[in-house]
Amino acid sequence: MPEYTPAPLVKAAEQFARLPGIGMKTAQRLAYHILTLPAETVEEFSAAMVAAREKVRCCGVCGNFTEESVCPICSDPKRDAGVVCVVESPRDVFVFERGGGFDGVYHVLHGLLSPMEGTGPGDIRVRELMERLSGDVKEVIMATNPTVEGEATASYVGRLVKAVGVKTTRLAYGLPAGATLEFADDVTLARALENRNEI
């Protein structure tokens, strides 16, 4: 930023730029915007961030974000505690719940295995998942993303789960709804063909 720019403005922009997906230009624009807001609005904004970080913790059972010691999903008697959907992050729980098509419970790994980044099984919530399996869990759905790390994690954790005799499944691959064949990538198309269903 130009040298005369006030230091607190530069610092605000730097803080915005640390957020994922926010580039330096957007960060500067947001910092300038902050200065045009009423002081109370900025204090409200800041307080909301600190409050979110302070009040929200991880569910003692599934690891999802919650204000309670056990989250509303885990403590809901209408949810099927016998089907556990294993995801990378609380954000993924959000995506499933938004869809509303799943009535089991979750297990948030809080990360994926990544030899490149030095993340091993001890760094994600694998042990906690295995401990849950001693109960009446009938099925574990590996619902990590279809990326290299997501696949590796699904494969590794899936094998551990299977080894203790619990049914293990993986999300289906295929064409996304509403997509046209023309824009499907080769891997997606090959998998859609391989996993074809009788009609």
**Whole-number minimum distance, CB 89 to a second copy, in Å?**
7
118: number of Cβ within 10 Å: 7
Kindly state whether residue 47 participates in binding a second copy, applying the rule CB under 8 A.
yes
Nearer to a second copy, 100 or 178 (CB): 100
Nearer to a second copy, 83 or 93 (CB): 93
Kindly state whether residue 21 participates in binding a second copy, applying the rule CB under 8 A.
yes
**List of residues 6+ apart from 176 with CB closer than 8 A:** 188
**DSSP notation for 156-184:** HHHHHHHHTT-EEEEPPPSPPTT--GGGS
Q: How far apart are CA 136 and CA 158, in angstroms?
A: 17
Kindly state whether residue 49 participates in binding a second copy, applying the rule CB under 8 A.
yes
Asked if 101 and 171 touch (Cβ cutoff 8 Å), the reply is no
Interface with a second copy in residues 89-128 (CB under 8 A): 89-91, 94, 97-98, 100
Instruction: Give the Cα-Cα-Cα angle 74, 100, 104 (nearest 5 degrees).
Output: 35
Paired with 85 in beta bridges are 106, 141
Paired with 105 in beta bridges are 84
Nearer to a second copy, 150 or 158 (CB): 150
Nearer to a second copy, 45 or 173 (CB): 45
Nearer to a second copy, 66 or 168 (CB): 66
Residues that bind a second copy (CB under 8 A): 1-2, 4-9, 11-12, 14-15, 18-22, 26, 28-37, 39, 42-56, 65-67, 71-73, 89-91, 94, 97-98, 100
